[in-house]
């Protein structure tokens, strides 16, 4: 009996170690990302390009196309050319490169084309949206940090509320660990982020609360989407590149969805180089 009671100890120890790894990785990666976002320009574009290529490679690994040489070459070259174009403010050619690359995969991919094509589209969306939102010289950095903090708030609030409260599952067939309590906790912390920006004078309270609610919800849907893709192919983590978090896809799934929607919202209210203003000024 004593052995049975002692059995859960290694599991608890492993969970504690994993949590510490998550915290340590976040304490390094989050300030680094914000610092590079502050610098902007070529530094942010270079980081975005490298991350987008990483996202694409992880996607191919999940869907079983990582050994398709033509897919690898077309996808990585597309993202590289797109990133370089955006780095030098050539938005039109960058968009054209992304479109041609996605079209090329749709025609040439040997693996199931819908998955390889959608993977490149996903990575290109992350790259383009991340750079476009930062282009605004006055509001770009603030808007980007707002999106990042909303997504991080959604993740952190969901993690702690889900673990401490538990309760009914959100979508057990897709993500068995996510709960409604976690979803609400993530939403609440994201709303506090929006409120904090408003109180700091970066915008009006009601619009920023609405924006935080929408982006938090979309972020959580992006997380569920990535979980559904992994479950479809029987994969637990997209990779193990980030200690305690898994892969880039595991860490950035919510961000990709949120920043893409943020750019669309900003575009409806501003110009291509005024997306940040469109988000922050109502």
pLDDT in tens, 156-198: 999 899 888 988 898 888 888 889 999 999 999 999 999 999 9
Do 264 and 173 have their domain in common? yes
User: Rounded to whole angstroms, what are the CA distances from 245 to 94, 112, 222, 253?
Assistant: 31, 28, 16, 12
Q: What percent of the chain has pLDDT over 70?
A: 91
Q: Are 150 and 194 in contact, with CB atoms under 8 Å apart?
A: yes
pLDDT at 122: 97
Do 80 and 117 have their domain in common? yes
Identify whether 234 is part of a domain: yes
Measured over the CA atoms of residue 239, residue 242, residue 243 and residue 247, the dihedral's sign is negative
Identify whether 10 is part of a domain: no
Do 112 and 199 have their domain in common? no
Identify whether 221 is part of a domain: yes
Q: Which of 81, 116, 134 is the last residue of a domain?
A: 134
Do 141 and 270 have their domain in common? yes
Identify whether 22 is part of a domain: no
Do 125 and 149 have their domain in common? no
Total-model pTM: 0.91
pLDDT at 4: 46
pLDDT in tens, 88-112: 999 999 999 999 999 988 887 555 7
Do 120 and 162 have their domain in common? no
Do 101 and 172 have their domain in common? no
| Full residue range of the structural domain in which residue 77 is found | 41-134
Count of alpha carbons within 13 angstroms of residue 199, beta-carbon side: 6
Determine the average pLDDT of the residues in 213-228. 95
* 119: confidence class by pLDDT, cuts 50, 70, 90: very high
Q: Which long-range contacts (CB under 8 A, 24 or more apart) does 111-115 make?
A: 111/63, 111/64, 111/65, 111/68, 111/71, 112/63, 112/65, 115/59, 115/63, 115/65
Residue 37, Cβ neighbours under 10 Å: how many?
20
Identify whether 130 is part of a domain: yes
pLDDT at 2: 41
Residues in contact with 271: Cβ distance below 8 Å, sequence separation at least 6, in sequence order? none
Do 150 and 223 have their domain in common? yes
Q: How far is CA 73 from the centre of its chain?
A: 24
Phi, psi of 137 (to 5 degrees): -70, -25
Identify whether 120 is part of a domain: yes
* Average pLDDT of every residue of the chain: 89
CA angle 70/255/121 to nearest 5° reads 25
Do 80 and 156 have their domain in common? no
Q: Which of 134, 168, 192 is the last residue of a domain?
A: 134
- Residues 70, 94: Cα–Cα separation, whole Å: 21
Closest alpha carbon to 41 in 107, 89, 77: 89
pLDDT at 83: 97
Measured over the CA atoms of residue 240, residue 72, residue 126 and residue 116, the dihedral's sign is negative
Closest alpha carbon to 105 in 71, 136, 138: 71
* 144: confidence class by pLDDT, cuts 50, 70, 90: very high
Identify whether 34 is part of a domain: no
Do 107 and 217 have their domain in common? no
pLDDT at 24: 81
Question: In degrees to the nearest 10, what's the CA dihedral of 130, 133, 134, 139?
Answer: -150
pLDDT in tens, 76-91: 999 999 999 999 999 9
| pLDDT tops 70 at residue 12 | no
pLDDT at 111: 54
* 245: confidence class by pLDDT, cuts 50, 70, 90: low
SS3 of 245, please?
A: coil
In the chain, the number of structural domains is: 2
Where is average pLDDT lowest: 91-105, 127-141, 233-247?
233-247
* 146: confidence class by pLDDT, cuts 50, 70, 90: very high
Identify whether 32 is part of a domain: no
Q: Which of 117, 134, 151 is the last residue of a domain?
A: 134
SS3 of 117, please?
A: helix
pLDDT at 176: 82
* 11: confidence class by pLDDT, cuts 50, 70, 90: very low
Do 147 and 238 have their domain in common? yes
Do 116 and 247 have their domain in common? no
């Amino acid at each position: 009996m004593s052995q049975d009671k002692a059995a859960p100890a290694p599991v608890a120890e492993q969970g504690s170690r994993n949590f510490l790894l998550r915290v340590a990785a976040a304490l390094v990666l989050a300030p680094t990302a914000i610092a590079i976002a502050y610098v902007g320009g070529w530094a942010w574009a270079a980081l975005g390009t490298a991350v987008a290529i990483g996202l694409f490679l992880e996607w191919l690994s999940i869907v079983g196309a990582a050994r398709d040489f033509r897919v690898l070459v077309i996808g990585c070259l597309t993202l590289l050319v797109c990133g370089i174009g955006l780095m030098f403010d050539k938005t039109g050619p960058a968009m054209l490169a992304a479109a041609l690359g996605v079209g090329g995969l749709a025609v040439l991919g040997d693996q199931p084309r819908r998955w390889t094509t959608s993977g490149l589209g996903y990575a290109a969306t992350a790259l383009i949206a991340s750079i476009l939102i930062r282009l605004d010289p006055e509001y770009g950095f603030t808007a980007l940090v707002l999106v990042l903090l909303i997504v991080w708030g959604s993740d952190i609030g969901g993690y702690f509320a889900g673990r401490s409260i538990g309760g009914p599952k959100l979508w057990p067939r897709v993500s068995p660990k996510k709960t409604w309590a976690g979803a609400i906790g993530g939403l609440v912390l994201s709303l506090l982020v929006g409120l904090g920006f408003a109180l700091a004078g970066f915008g009006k309270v009601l619009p920023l609360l609405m924006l935080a609610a929408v982006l938090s919800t979309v972020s959580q849907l992006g997380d569920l989407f990535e979980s559904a893709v992994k479950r479809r192919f029987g994969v637990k983590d997209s990779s193990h590149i980030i200690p305690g978090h898994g892969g880039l896809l595991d860490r950035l799934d919510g961000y990709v969805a949120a920043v893409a929607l943020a750019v669309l919202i900003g575009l409806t209210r501003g110009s291509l180089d005024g997306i940040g203003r469109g988000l922050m000024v109502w």
